[in-house]
A and B are shown apart, each in its own frame.
Chain A
Amino acid sequence: MQWETVIGLEIHCQLATESKIFSGASTAFGAEPNTQACAVDLALPGTLPVFNEKALEMAVKFGLAIDAEIGKKSVFDRKNYFYPDLPKGYQTSQLAHPIVGPGHVDIQLDDGTTKRIGVTRAHLEEDAGKSLHEDFHGMSGIDLNRAGTPLIEIVSEPDIRSAKEAVAYAKKIHAIVTALGISDGDMSQGSFRCDVNVSIRPKGQDEFGTRTETKNLNSFKFMEDAIKLEVERQIDVLEDGGTIVQETRLYNGDTKVARSMRSKEEANDYRYFPCPDLLPVMIDDDYIDAIRATLPELPDARLARFKEQYGLSDYDAGILAAYGSMASYFETAVDACGDAKLAANWLLGEVSKYLNTAGIEIDASPVSAEALGGLLVRIKDNTISGNIAKKVFDAMWNGEGSADEVIEAKGLKQVTDSGAIEAIVDQVIAGATPQVEQYKAAEPDKRGKMLGFFMGQVMKASGGKANPGQVNQILKKKLDALCD
């Protein structure tokens, strides 16, 4: 049977506020346990929440960025459940009146087309603390530093049809929240956590199948792997005549195995009700318009501009425009060297290679965008060849100075003096009699390919410094003269 995969995502995105959503405790990551958990976060009797204006502003920014309806009246609800890392016995969240209503994002598919994915809603809520289950004399340890950290939970429509689309959607949301500066998006620190709802149905069927939820996928790779694994499992179960149980599953990225965590409790078991400690949050058009005016250029707009302004391909623009740090590095390098195609090739080639090897992001590159621009200028003005530039870049990466300093110190300046090149060519031709004889014996239309050997010898003899274009020209002239 042909199966169709149906996927919906819930993304918990930590908002980059200084203080918590309802208290003045710090949200900084990595502090000593419970040093950033105040009386409100601990739910001590008599404490009351006061809503953080920045969390509101950030959630509205997100809503505007995905073209969503903004809730002018949003209401906090209590989602009741018991767990020791949730001291109040409920999570303050939003159910009926979220701050962000229906919106959408567009994802780019491999075949170059665009697909629109609906966002059902995005609501504000507080994070829980952290439970540590290592052995504390048979007890669990609780760290409440994270309790009360502001989150927006972004819920997609079940519009996603493959693991690849799910990753493209999650990456797009990630690019948007980081472009807006409302989240650091750091998946390893839990700032951007994805839960995927997966079901399958026979192709052509309208009703959805029973779905499972796989939680807390903390990398895009894990998300893709976990979805593929779950789809295979569901197909196996159904084709063996079984039924899918609605449940929560946990995926372990290291072992690549998922297991059932618990049957999903019915939604109404959370017994949501409006939080009596918090009044409705009212915002007006002036407030929304003021925030709209502060929106930065978003990834989709930047993508279109990069293609238009710099003549980049869909693929190149897709990578360079997706993230603000890469985009501004690129634009700074282009400003410095005046050649967008050259800068794009270097960023996607040599620079990316070095970044991947070092396992760092572009903003941590030891070679600044201005410095790279300085190197590219020297390629353009023929001071060095593209090959020598790679050596210069390696030296720059290792902190040996600017392009000009490295070229000077290592004597890498390209030889463009025809006399000097001719001398090397003569020397190579004199020392390669057998190859010269072969060249002379070859049909004229085959000779072009044979030039490669001589090119290599001359470049080697010049230490890579001879201008390749000139070498080619002089070699051809001299060899052809021998043939006459």
Chain B
Amino acid sequence: MSLDRSDVEKIAHLARLQLDDADIPEYAQHLSNILALVDQMQAADTSALEPMANPHDASQRLRADAVTEQNQREALQANAPATENGLFLVPKVIE
């Protein structure tokens, strides 16, 4: 399977990446190569195998339902570019 310009533009949009127009053919080629590798792997017969959700043969550890975190808002907001009344401020999301 090979990707064309519009596929790359769509993937870049979903990942919120800004690409140089001139670079798009190269990305298309690289991504197509990866897909070719995937195609090659898919040719292997895995019908008798369970899909692997995780490489470790282990199950998820659970924690007790207890509040262990205290309010650290001041420290956690120290790096934020903009805050007000305890809120993080971000570029306006809706018009």
Q: Is B60 an interface residue (CB 8 A)?
A: yes
Stretch at the interface among B19-27, B35-43, B86-94: B86-94
Total interface residues on A, CB under 8 Å, equals: 51
Q: Give min CB distance, A196 to chain B, whole Å.
A: 23
Q: Is A84 an interface residue (CB 8 A)?
A: yes
Among candidates A25, A35, A274, residue contacting B53 with C-beta atoms closer than 8 Å: A274
* Chain B residues closer than 8 Å to A138, beta-carbon distance: 92
Since A97-B53, A136-B87, A142-B87 are in contact, a sample of 4 more A-B pairs with Cβ atoms closer than 8 Å, ordered by chain A residue number, is A50-B62, A51-B60, A54-B64, A132-B87
Known: A82-B16, A139-B82. A280 touches B53 (CB 8 A): yes
A280 CA to B58 CA in the complex, in Å?
8
Contact present for B54 and A280 (CB under 8 Å): yes
A138 CA to B90 CA in the complex, in Å?
9
**A: which residues have CB within 8 A of B?**
17-19, 23-26, 32-39, 42, 44, 50-56, 75, 80, 82-84, 97, 131-133, 136-144, 269, 271, 274, 276, 278-282
Q: Is B6 an interface residue (CB 8 A)?
A: no
Q: Binary interface profile of B, 3-18, with partner A (CB < 8 Å = 1, else 0)?
A: 0000000000010100
Contact present for B63 and A50 (CB under 8 Å): yes
Contact present for A140 and B91 (CB under 8 Å): yes
Total interface residues on B, CB under 8 Å, equals: 34
Chain B residue at minimal CB-CB distance from A80: B14
Q: Is B48 an interface residue (CB 8 A)?
A: no
* Chain B residues closer than 8 Å to A19, beta-carbon distance: 65-69
Among candidates B14, B59, B82, residue contacting A279 with C-beta atoms closer than 8 Å: B59
A132 CA to B53 CA in the complex, in Å?
37
Among candidates B60, B69, B76, B77, residue contacting A278 with C-beta atoms closer than 8 Å: B60
A138 CA to B93 CA in the complex, in Å?
10
5 inter-chain pairs at a CB distance below 8 angstroms, sorted by A residue, are: A32-B86, A38-B69, A133-B94, A141-B89, A144-B88
Contact present for A140 and B92 (CB under 8 Å): yes
Q: Give min CB distance, B55 to chain A, whole Å.
A: 9
Q: Give min CB distance, A456 to chain B, whole Å.
A: 63
Contact present for A279 and B76 (CB under 8 Å): no
Contact present for A282 and B59 (CB under 8 Å): yes
Chain A residue at minimal CB-CB distance from B91: A139
Chain A residue at minimal CB-CB distance from B71: A35
Among candidates A55, A274, A281, residue contacting B65 with C-beta atoms closer than 8 Å: A55
Q: Give min CB distance, B47 to chain A, whole Å.
A: 17
Secondary structure at the B interface, as helix, strand, loop or mixed, is: loop
A271 CA to B11 CA in the complex, in Å?
10
Q: Give min CB distance, B26 to chain A, whole Å.
A: 22
Which of B63, B65, B86, B92 has the most A CB atoms < 10 Å from its CB? B65
* Chain B residues closer than 8 Å to A278, beta-carbon distance: 60
A315 CA to B61 CA in the complex, in Å?
47
Contact present for B89 and A25 (CB under 8 Å): no
Which of A133, A138, A278, A280 has the most B CB atoms < 10 Å from its CB? A280
* Chain A residues closer than 8 Å to B85, beta-carbon distance: 33, 141
Among candidates B56, B66, B88, B93, residue contacting A24 with C-beta atoms closer than 8 Å: B66
A269 CA to B7 CA in the complex, in Å?
12
A136 CA to B14 CA in the complex, in Å?
27
A445 CA to B93 CA in the complex, in Å?
80
Contact present for B76 and A34 (CB under 8 Å): yes
A92 CA to B61 CA in the complex, in Å?
16
Q: Is B72 an interface residue (CB 8 A)?
A: yes
Contact present for B86 and A18 (CB under 8 Å): no
* Chain A residues closer than 8 Å to B68, beta-carbon distance: 19, 24
Contact present for A280 and B71 (CB under 8 Å): no
Contact present for B62 and A35 (CB under 8 Å): no
Task: List 5 A-B pairs, minimum CB-CB distance, nearest first.
Answer: A24-B68, A54-B65, A141-B87, A282-B59, A53-B62
A34 CA to B84 CA in the complex, in Å?
11
Q: Give min CB distance, A275 to chain B, whole Å.
A: 9
Known: A24-B66, A84-B93, A274-B54. A50 touches B61 (CB 8 A): yes
Q: Give min CB distance, B13 to chain A, whole Å.
A: 10
Among candidates A42, A51, A82, A83, residue contacting B62 with C-beta atoms closer than 8 Å: A51
Q: Give min CB distance, A182 to chain B, whole Å.
A: 12
Which of B63, B76, B87 has the most A CB atoms < 10 Å from its CB? B87
Q: Give min CB distance, B74 to chain A, whole Å.
A: 10
* Chain A residues closer than 8 Å to B93, beta-carbon distance: 83-84, 131, 133, 140
Contact present for B65 and A37 (CB under 8 Å): no
Chain A residue at minimal CB-CB distance from B13: A269
Q: Give min CB distance, B64 to chain A, whole Å.
A: 6
